[in-house]
Amino acid sequence: MKVIAINGSPRKTWNTATLLQKALEGAASRGAETELVQLYDLKYKGCSSCFACKRKDGQHGKCAMKDDLADVLEKLETVDAIIFGSPIYYMSITAGMAALLERFLFSHSIYSSEIPTLYSREIQAGFIYTMNMTEKQAEQFGLKQNLNLREKMIKEKIGRPVKSLYSYDTYQFSDYEKYESSMFSEEAKSKQKAEQFPIDCQKAFDMGARLAVIYI
C-alpha cells in the first residue's frame, strides 16, 4: 500500500505541511508506505495545451512535458492513495497545486463518449485545505462550492469521491508583531491554534488511516 501526500504550499513546515504529515502518520499506522512531495521545491509549469496526451500515435494519457513534475506524475500512476494539500489563496488553491492538477487531470481526460478516464484503476484521495478565513467567512464566499467542483473533477479521473478536511482560521505568523495584521486578533488566533488545530491534526491522522484501507 503506497500513499503519497503533495504539499501545494510554499511553506514546508507550516499548517498545510503539518496536517499532511499527520495524515501520512495515520496511513503509516495502517502499514502504508508513505511519501511527502514538496511542490515548491520543484521547477515546473502548468499544462501547455500541446495535446500530446491526446495523440493516438503517441503516449496517449501521459503528459509529455519534461520537467521536475514528470517524476511526480509517474508516481501518481502507481500509488494507492493521494492526499493533496493546499492553503487557500484568494479563494482558491495555490498556483503550484493548480498547475499539478491541470497536468494530472487533463492527461487522463479523454475525448470519448465511451471511456470516462485513462487512469488505470480506482484509488483513494483526500484533500486538505488550510485558510486564514473563519468557517463562517468561507461559507459567505461560497468557498466549498468552488473547491467541490475541483474535487468532482478528481473523482471523475480516479473513480472515487475525495475526502476533504478544512482547517479554518489558521495561525499565519510566528510573530504577529512583525506584520501589519491589525484586522486580526492575535489572541483569538492563538486560542484557535491551541484548541482547534490539534483537533484538525487528529482529523488529518484519521483521514490518512482511512485512506490506507483501500475500500473504506
Q: What is the pLDDT along the chain (216 residues), one digit of tens a residue?
A: 899 999 999 999 999 999 999 999 999 999 999 999 999 999 999 999 989 888 887 677 788 899 999 999 999 989 999 999 999 999 999 999 999 999 999 888 877 767 767 777 788 899 999 999 888 989 998 999 889 988 988 888 887 788 999 999 998 888 888 888 888 888 888 888 888 999 999 999 999 999 998 654
CATH fold of 2-171+200-211 reads Rossmann fold (3.40.50)
* Pairing state between β 163-167 and 81-87: unpaired
Name residue 14's amino acid: W
Q: Which residues of 10-42 are buried (b: 16+ CB within 10 A; e: fewer)?
A: beeebbbbbbbbbbbebbbeeebebebbbbeeb
